Amino acid sequence: MLIRRLALGDALAYWETRNRGLKEFPDAFTSSHEEGVATPPEVLAKRFGDDRSDDFVLGAFDDEGVLCGHAGFQRELRAKNRHKGTLIGMYVVPESRGRQVGRLLLARLLEEVRATAGVEQVILTVTHSNEAARMLYLRAGFVSFGIEKNALKFEGRYFVKEYMMLLL
């Protein structure tokens, strides 16, 4: 398993994997599959390629070099919020689950964030019914600080989002 920051050459693989997640788990992501497909890979790749950037996407690659998971980090832009950032778009393809890919991705992401000067806190949202993801974040030290009812609406159903944070 190789985990590294995605580069410009990974744009298509990321686009495909991301859209797969948006389609398979519409309740887990704020973006819809339709929005994902309409966003060209080049647009997503704007956050790739700079190893020093404090906005990045990590990819997990299996032994054959296939992208099997990803997780991103976006640092807040405004001066008063620069001590925080958000974990975004975490997804592991179903056939790679149970192999610690999510745990390894999250650990590496947090390692990189801890090495970023001035970042003190990571925030995320997780669909409250996604028990596997919730437990992954809790085991990593995240704590819940709020629930948003009716956070997402998909095909007439509402989904609850849980807000979690980790002080570094």
Domain positions in the chain: 2-167
Closest CA to 117 of 67, 52, 46: 52
Q: Quote the pLDDT of residue 54.
A: 85
User: What pLDDT shows up at residue 50?
Assistant: 67
* Residue-wise DSSP of 87-143: EEEEEE-GGGTTTTHHHHHHHHHHHHHHTSTT--EEEEEEETT-HHHHHHHHHTT-E
Which structure tokens are listed for 48? 């790739």
Those residues with Cβ within 8 angstroms of residue 53's Cβ, 6 or more apart along the chain or in another chain: 47
Stretch 129-134: mean pLDDT: 92
**Cβ neighbours, 10 Å, residue 143:** 11
Average pLDDT, the chain: 94
Confidence of residue 47 (pLDDT cuts 50, 70, 90): confident
Written as six digits, the tokens of 164 are 């979690």
Architecture of domain 2-167: 3-Layer(aba) Sandwich (3.40)
pLDDT in tens, 74-107: 999 999 999 999 999 999 999 998 899 999 999 9
pLDDT at 52 over 90: no
For position 48, what pLDDT does the model report?
Answer: 83
Helices 131-139, 101-114: axis angle to 10 degrees equals: 40
Segment 149-165 shows an average pLDDT of: 95
Say how far apart CA 146 and CA 158 lie, in whole Å: 17
pTM of the model: 0.92
Res. 46 pLDDT band, cuts 50 70 90: confident
Tell me, what's the pLDDT at 147?
97
